[in-house]
Structures are given as structure tokens and as C-alpha cells.
Amino acid sequence: MPSTQRRSERQTSTTGKKTGAKKKTGAKAKTPSIDSATPAELDAMDVKKLWKHYDDKGQPERLRNYFMERYLPLVRYNSERIYARLPDEVDIEDLMSAGLFGLMDAIDAFDLERGVKFETYCAPRIRGAILDELRTMDWVPRLVRSRTAKVDGARNALIQKFGREPTKAEIAQHLGVDSEEYKKIDRDGSPVGVVSLSRNWRQSDGNRELREIDVIKDSRQVNPLGETQRRDLKDLVTKGLSRAERLIVVLYYYEEMTMKEIGATLDLSESRVSQMHSSILARLKAQMQHREREFEPQTAV
């Protein structure tokens, strides 16, 4: 029994020494230096201590990069909020690039002694940098944008008041300007409606995107069906006519020359050209009155 008690005391003593050694070892652990700490270790530190060290050390590059990465979500958050009110042709990556410059300026100019959180301080700087970039990208003057916004606001207010689309006179009266001034404002604001031909028009079936350029009508494009109908009609009208009569029809209706000019070209008097023209019309009317439906304009499918 005594030997068992002595063994137990020795084990307790040994265990106590080991525990004391562990406590002593733990006491030697030191907090990592800010200049050599990893990003994870910096996250665990007091942010006010980091800002104070940043100011005291003359804004070290390593700590500035850490702040850029730490507050990068603020840039994305403000960019997405502004992007939600913009057309589709604006790229959100461009907004974020501008917001990064605003974040850099906010980091360099931040003063801890003002007692303001950095998140509160940098948000207006980020939004301001994004809005400045949008103004440089916009080719329309700010005055035109302001006038257009006032007209749109007046129109929306009158729609809510009357329950219908207001007239130009009613909008001018709501704005407190005369009709001539309103015409000028409306004319100056007309270029604001410019859109990109690359933006999505609507979502089509499948994976293919339907863009504005795919559905816009090009008035300069010649309709091949209409051109073919025009050529066939010309051949049908001039069929069976003499050379002089064919020239009168072509020069008058297709070249848009006057009777006097046609007479000078064919070496005929103006009255003779007019007489021949009337005779041609009478024959063509009798010949084609039962074929009117063939000459109705057709649209391409």
C-alpha cells in the first residue's frame, strides 16, 4: 500500500511538471507582427489598430493591398446598385474598375481620428468615382440630361393626375415654360434616346440571343421582290408600244421628265407628246383593267 501511494505521488508530480511546461510554452507565444502577418491573421486583428499602423508607417504598400482586398465587396455592391438603373450596353466591369479608383482614393485619404467607420466614409467616394466615369462615357451634355429628366418627371406626374398621356401644352404649362421653349427642350432631349444595336432585344427560343441589329428595319435596303415587280411591270407596260411611245412612258414615269423635255429629246412638239401620252394611257387602261390584282404591291415573307 505505501509503495502504491508513492507511485501515485510520483505520477502526479510528473504530470504537474508537464502541465507547467505546457503553460510556460504557451506563455512564450507572441502575436504576429502586422508587417509580416498573413491576410488571415490580419483579419483577426483589430481594424483600428491596422489603420493606425497604416498611418504611422507612411501607408505601406502591403497593407494598402490588404485593405483593397478587404473592402472590394463594397465596390461590387455599389456598382451593382448603379448598374441596375442603367441600359444593358453598359458593362458592370467598367463600373467596378472606376469604383476601384474611388476605393484607392478613400484608403489614402481616410483619417481614423474623425471617428467615422471606413465603410461609411468610402461608399460615397466609390459611387462618385463611378458616376464620374459614366459622365465621361456619356456624349450627351449634362444640361440636356437635366432637361430631359424634368420633362419625364412632368409627364409622369401628369399621367398620374389625369390617367392618360398628357399633351405637349399641358407639359409646358406644368414646367412653367411657353410652347417655343418647350419645343427647344424637347428637341434638345431627342438625342438622349440613342441605343446600342448590340443590346438584347428579347430572349429568343433556344440559346441564341436576339439583338437590336437583328430586328431593325434598314430603309436603305432594296426589297428584291418589289424591284422584280417593278421591272416586270415596266416590261408589261412598254410591250406592244412603238419606240417613240416606249420612250415617252419611260422618260415621263421612270425618269420623271416633263413633256417639254421629252419633246426636245424626241424632236417632237410638246402638244404632240401630250397627245401621244393620252393615247398610250387609254390603250393601257383598256388592256390592263382586268389585271389590277397582279399589280398590287407584295411584301417579302
What are the pLDDT digits (tens) for 238-279?
A: 777 888 888 888 888 888 899 999 999 888 899 999 999 998
Secondary structure of 47-83 in the HEC alphabet? HHHHHHHHHHCCCCHHHHHHHHHHCHHHHHHHHHHHH
Q: What is the pTM of this model?
A: 0.47
Residue 225: per-residue pLDDT: 81
Which residues is 203 bridged to in the sheet? 209
Q: For Cα atoms 38, 41, 42, give the angle at the middle one, nearest 5 degrees.
A: 85
Residue 221: per-residue pLDDT: 73
> What whole-number distance in Å separates Cα of residue 279 and Cα of residue 252?
14
CA distances from 122 to 53, 63, 170, 217 (A): 19, 17, 44, 47
pLDDT band at 28 (very low <50, low <70, confident <90, very high): very low
Which residues is 215 bridged to in the sheet? none
- Nearest one of 130, 151, 158, 136 to 193, comparing CA atoms: 151
The shares of helix, strand and coil residues in the chain, as percent rounded to the nearest 5, are 70, 0, 25
pLDDT band at 205 (very low <50, low <70, confident <90, very high): low
pLDDT band at 300 (very low <50, low <70, confident <90, very high): very low
Q: Looking at the predicted structure, is the pLDDT value of residue 290 above 70?
A: no
The helix-helix angle for 92-109 and 72-83 (nearest 10°) equals: 140
pLDDT band at 30 (very low <50, low <70, confident <90, very high): low
**Please, are residues 254 and 234 in contact by the beta-carbon 8 Å criterion?**
yes
Greatest mean pLDDT among 120-134, 138-152, 236-250? 120-134
Residue 13: per-residue pLDDT: 52
DSSP tally for the chain: helices H, then strands E: 15, 2
In this structure, the dihedral spanned by the alpha carbons of residues 61, 66, 68 and 74, taken in order and rounded to 10 degrees, is -160
Side-chain-side CA neighbours of residue 209 (13 Å):
8
> What whole-number distance in Å separates Cα of residue 95 and Cα of residue 84?
12
211 or 28, higher pLDDT: 211
Which of 9-18, 53-62, 91-100, 164-173 has the weakest average pLDDT?
9-18
Q: Looking at the predicted structure, is the pLDDT value of residue 76 above 70?
A: yes
The domains found in the chain, sorted by start residue, are: 39-137 (1.10.1740.10), 141-191 (1.10.10), 224-288 (1.20.140.160)
- Nearest one of 63, 69, 33, 61 to 51, comparing CA atoms: 63
276 or 31, higher pLDDT: 276
pLDDT band at 204 (very low <50, low <70, confident <90, very high): low
Q: For Cα atoms 66, 72, 73, give the angle at the middle one, nearest 5 degrees.
A: 135
**DSSP string covering 73-128:** HHHHHHHHHHHTTS-TTS-HHHHHHHHHHHHHHHHHH--GGG---HHHHHHHHHHH
pLDDT band at 24 (very low <50, low <70, confident <90, very high): very low
Residue 187: per-residue pLDDT: 77
> What whole-number percentage of the chain has pLDDT above 90?
17
Residue 80: per-residue pLDDT: 93
133 or 31, higher pLDDT: 133
**DSSP string covering 163-174:** SSPPPHHHHHHH
Calculate the average pLDDT of the chain: 78
Residue 32: per-residue pLDDT: 66
> What whole-number distance in Å separates Cα of residue 100 and Cα of residue 69?
10
Q: For Cα atoms 289, 290, 292, give the angle at the middle one, nearest 5 degrees.
A: 70
